[in-house]
Amino acid sequence: MATGTETSADYIKHHLTNLVFGQHPDGTWGLAHSAEEAAAMGFMSINVDSMFWSILLGVVFVLVFRSAAKRATSGVPGGLQNFVEMIVDFVDDNVRSIFTHQNSMIAPMALTIFVWVFLMNLMDLVPVDWIPMAASAVGIHYMKVVPTTDPNITLGMAFAVFLLVIYFSIAKKGLGGFLGELLFHPFPKWAAPVNLILEGVTLLAKPISLGLRLFGNLYAGEMIFILIALMYSGGLIMGIFGGVLQWGWAVFHVLIITLQAGIFAVLSVVYLAQAHDVESEH
């Protein structure tokens, strides 16, 4: 919550600023100590907190699912095995209904995307002050704990899917077939430049919309949690009201974080299914 020496604007700005490592104007490398320093570092910088939490949650995913796989039994399954099997069956059913081609990597990729994005989204339910205050106590100025509120993370994942789409489009259709889709649809061949513009925009819009949709929804959700947290510094009545709002928004947000993880995974499978379609329907 905002303190007596910190304005609401300062509080919001602090919680929405990444811990950035990059090159300072004097040529030295280090962490930025303000949003202005972070902006001055430009493209050749890294959001340390986003990378740390996304990698950590990826490791958590691997360890949990590996543990469940090692303990799997054909007898009465335990709680962890039941939980993991439920997630695997859910993802597998969705992939089978969307992806009608033969590719053994699609279902594992969809499972990885769904669980990893869900875990990153789940960090949005951690009270907004807990981890930043703990980080501040050990001298870390900024700490954003929800990786999917960083467009670098969401767009990075989206463009990784996009590269797979390009790869499989060329692998399944050939370079000529892939270029033919861009040049000769939806209008006749003589309108190839127009087709290229239309199809090129459509192709590039896929990763951008995929990444920005996830970022926008989670960023808005985190902003609402931060605004609710400001109410705790407004007195007893406002604090109680803020607690009720926070609980209600957290319950509703469980649906949002799950839905956004599912949308990202499903759309990734849809785009890859289109890449495998040898005869695209236009």
- Does residue 71 carry a catalytic annotation? no
Burial of 99: CB neighbours in 10 Å, binned 0-12, 13-18, 19+: middle
Q: Which of 67, 97, 209, 280 is catalytic?
A: 209
Q: Which of 97, 213, 233, 280 is catalytic?
A: 213
Q: In whole angstroms, give the CA distance from residue 260 to residue 217.
A: 8
Q: Which of 18, 47, 195, 217 is catalytic?
A: 217
Q: In whole angstroms, give the CA distance from residue 273 to residue 261.
A: 19
Q: In whole angstroms, give the CA distance from residue 91 to residue 93.
A: 6
Distance of CA 118 to the CA centre of its chain: 8
Which position has the token pair 């861009």? 182
Token readout for 13 is 């700005």
- Does residue 94 carry a catalytic annotation? no
Q: Within 10 Å of residue 222's Cβ, how many Cβ atoms?
A: 21
- Does residue 18 carry a catalytic annotation? no
Token readout for 161 is 């899917």
Angle at 50 between CA 47 and CA 52, to 5 degrees: 105
Contact, 53 vs 178, CB < 8 A? no
**3-state SS assignment for residue 21:** strand
**3-state SS assignment for residue 146:** coil
Q: In whole angstroms, give the CA distance from residue 214 to residue 154.
A: 7
Residues classed as catalytic: 209, 213, 217
